[in-house]
Amino acid sequence: MGGGEALDPDAIEHIARTLLRRYGVVFWKLLEREAPWLPSWRELLRVYHRLEARGEIRGGRFVEGLVGEQFALPEAIAPLRAIRQRADDGELVCVSGSDPLNLVGTVLVGDKVPALAGSRVLYRDGMPIAALVGGKVVPLIELSAVDARLAKQVLLRHPPSQPEAVAAAR
């Protein structure tokens, strides 16, 4: 990452803070989804180390399975811990392909879901289970027939009937 002309330190710090506000937690792998003109991870790392030394952010291991340094906003840490300790309840969350939460194929396993408004990713309990790419529903994990039908309805924005939603949550 990072190309072209060198940015001044204030601009690099502004970008570093913007990435933190966008994601809550930052790490080198996350930059794969960002614009190629951004500062390199090494340049951002210097800023994050300074912010950590001043007590403005925290360094640590916040995202399981990733190597390398990670930094988080203090207000992001408590929700991350709460989510990790929460029991799975089948909650479905659908996000646009252009949403920063679309980390499929970069941070999360699987083929990349295009960062386009027409694409969508469906998460169940925080894990991607299906996507809408080019108008087609693509399962990202093996789904039962009921789950596949529910995923299709949610991704295509057709609300499921109550019995199907209850059955899928089990």
pLDDT by residue (tens digit) across 54-65? 999 999 998 887
Asked if the structure places residue 136 within a domain, the reply is yes
Q: What is the pLDDT of residues 12-34, one digit of tens each?
A: 999 999 999 999 999 998 887 78
22 and 67 housed in the same domain? yes
% residues pLDDT > 70 (the chain): 90
Q: How far apart are CA 112 and CA 26, in angstroms?
A: 19
Q: Does 3 reside within a domain?
A: no
Predicted structure pTM score: 0.70
Residue 22: domain span = 9-84
The verdict on 104 and 147 lying in the same domain is yes
* Model confidence at 159: pLDDT above 80: no
Mean pLDDT of the chain: 86
Residues 6+ apart with CB under 8 A from 34: 1, 19
Of the segments 31-35, 98-102, 106-110, which one has the largest average pLDDT value? 98-102
| 124: in domain | yes
What pLDDT, on a 0 to 100 scale, did the predictor assign at position 109?
74
| pLDDT at position 161 | 55
Number of domains in the chain: 2
- Name the 3-class secondary structure at 9: helix
Helix and strand tally (H, E) in the chain? Answer: 5, 7
- Tens of pLDDT, residues 90-99: 889 999 998 8
Q: Give yes or no for residue 163 having a pLDDT over 70.
A: no
> 158 in a domain, yes or no?
yes
Check which CATH number belongs to the domain holding 22 and give it.
1.10.10.10
Residue 50: count other Cβ atoms within 10 Å of its Cβ.
Answer: 14
Alpha helix stretches (DSSP H) within the chain: 9-23, 41-53, 74-85, 145-155, 162-169
Per-residue pLDDT, 82: 83
Sheet with 70-72, strands from edge to edge, namely 25-27, 70-72, 58-60
Q: Has residue 42 been placed in a domain?
A: yes
| Whether the predicted pLDDT of 148 surpasses 50 | yes
Please tell me whether residues 74 and 117 are part of one structural domain.
Answer: no
What Å distances lie between residue 123 and 44, 54, 75, 143, 147, CA to CA? 30, 36, 23, 13, 12
